[in-house]
Each structure stands twice: as structure tokens, then as C-alpha cells.
Amino acid sequence: MRPKQWAKNALLALAPLAAGVLFQPTVLLEVVLGIIAFSLTSSGGYIVNDLLDIESDKLHPKKRFRPIPSGEFPARIAWPTAIVLLVAPAGIAAAFGFFTFAGVLIAYVIIQLSYCIWLKHQPVIDIIIVASGFVLRAVAGAAIVGVPITQWFILVISSGSLFMVAGKRYSEKVESVGKEQSHTRKTLNLYSLGYLRFVWTVAATLTMLSYGLWAFDLNGGTSIGSIISVFPFGTALLLYAYDIERGEASAPEDVVLKDVRLLVCGAIWAALFLLSVLARQYGWQVPNLS
């Protein structure tokens, strides 16, 4: 079920936070329940992926120790467990009236099953599909509490997700040089380091531009917090790009949690982002100096 991957589901809190409603008791409860639902659903996808790759994972130096390929979690139990995890959260959400959120979960399940069965073997498409998982998490957060999402939100999340996924593939490619037969990701042999560097560079540029446009969006109400937040955001982006270039970003969750500089930049950005949200909510705008 890969509990370490559940941290990704914190993305469900972004849209409610950006809308300034996250800390309302009812909204916070809905977001927490949404995170739990998405964690269970994604876990079902991880189990299916391991079941389909069980033979190749047995030959992998690291993946062979996972519960399914090692035999610790038998396939006869894993299959029904995966089905329940993939179906139950969306069904329960729909039963309680969260139809849009349930629809996002269903879309995620369909995409993940398509990825596990076929799309993960298609170059370029595999990167886009993995990145879409992050986008759907962010959209799910907006859906469960019923808040609108802006074009800037979608642009930053989409390009940022593509940046992380392409960077992950780049690092995996760097690690695989000279030992092409030791990994199970078939598409990795179809990518060149130059192409992957191009993708994550373009994605990083688009992420920074999109965030900057949001920060200086006069129609939305520019605040001191939103302007200053560009600096820790950009610094974190550059630090992560440095880890990618060194081939150390094959496990993004480990990079973020182990890099103190990234954590500090993230904390500063979060504080400034919250300040900017409050500023926009209460009309604290930067005066026009022109």
C-alpha cells in the first residue's frame, strides 16, 4: 500500500487553502476524509501495479523485497484487497452525496488501471499519466469542498507535476546507466538524458512563470505575501532541479524529507502563501506606485 506515498495526498488541501476556507471545521474534516479516501484508492492502484509486475519485480534488486513479489502478501489475498480499495472509497463518497469528488476518484482509478495495464509502456504518455495523478489530487480537494479553481492553480499544479515526474525519470535514467537490464521500467530505455532534461527544464520554467503570474495577478489582488513568496518558491525549484541534475531525485518524497534546505524553503513559502491568501481574502493589496 506504500504509506510513504500517501504524503502526495496532502495536495487535496491546496485548493481549500488557496480559497481561504481550509481551517473551517467542516471543510477541514472533509479534506481529511478526502485524503484518507484518496490514500486508500491509490493504494489499490499500487497493489494492482505490483501484481501485474510480480514476475519482473522478483528479478529487481530492490523491488523483489516488496510484500507481493516476496510472497509475504499472497496474490490470492492481494487481488480482492485491491478491488475493494479501488471501488469502496468512490462508492462511499457518492453515497454521502460527494458526487463530484467520487467522479474524480473514478477518473483516477480508470487512469491508473490504464497505466498499469498498458500506458506505462508508452514513452511520453507514461510521464503525462503519472503527472495527471498529482493534478487529480489537487482537483479532488476543490471538488470535495466545492470551491472553484483558477487557471493559475491548474497551470502551476500541472507544470509542477510534470517537472517532478520528468525529474524522477531523469534521475532513474542516470542511476540505470551501465546497468540497463536491472530495472523493470521498459520505457526508460527509450528516453535519452537530453530529452528528459528538456522536459523537466521546460516544465520548471512554466511552473515558475505560472506562479509568478499568479503572485502578480492584479485582478486577484496582489499582496506583499504573494510577491515575496516567489523567492522561496523559486529557490525550492532550483534546489530540487539541482538534485535532479545530480540524479538524486528518483524518489521525490525522500528528497523533500531529507533536504533541510528544501524543508526550510517550503516552510517559508507556506507561511507567505497563507499570508497572501489572507491578504486577498481581506483586501490587503499592494498600493499602485505607477
pLDDT, averaged across the chain: 88
Give the pLDDT band of residue 189 (cuts 50, 70, 90): confident
User: Is the per-residue pLDDT at 217 higher than 80?
Assistant: no
Residue-wise pLDDT tens digits, 19-37: 888 889 999 999 999 999 9
Long-range contacts of 266-272 (CB under 8 A, 24+ apart): 266/232, 266/236, 268/232, 269/229, 269/232, 269/233, 269/236, 272/225, 272/226, 272/228, 272/229, 272/232
The pLDDT assigned to 152 comes to 87
Going by C-beta distance under 8 Å and a sequence separation of 6 or more, which residues neighbour residue 262?
236, 239, 240, 255, 256
The pLDDT assigned to 218 comes to 52
Dihedral angle of Cα 108, 114, 116, 117, to the nearest 10 degrees: 160
- Record the pTM: 0.87
CB-CB contact of 255 with 243 (8 Å) = yes
Domain boundary assignment for the chain: 1-149, 150-290
The pLDDT assigned to 283 comes to 61
User: Is the per-residue pLDDT at 180 higher than 80?
Assistant: no
Q: Which residue has the higher pLDDT, 38 or 220?
A: 38
CATH number for region 1-149: 1.10.357.140
* CA–CA distance, 6 with 248 (Å, rounded to integer): 21
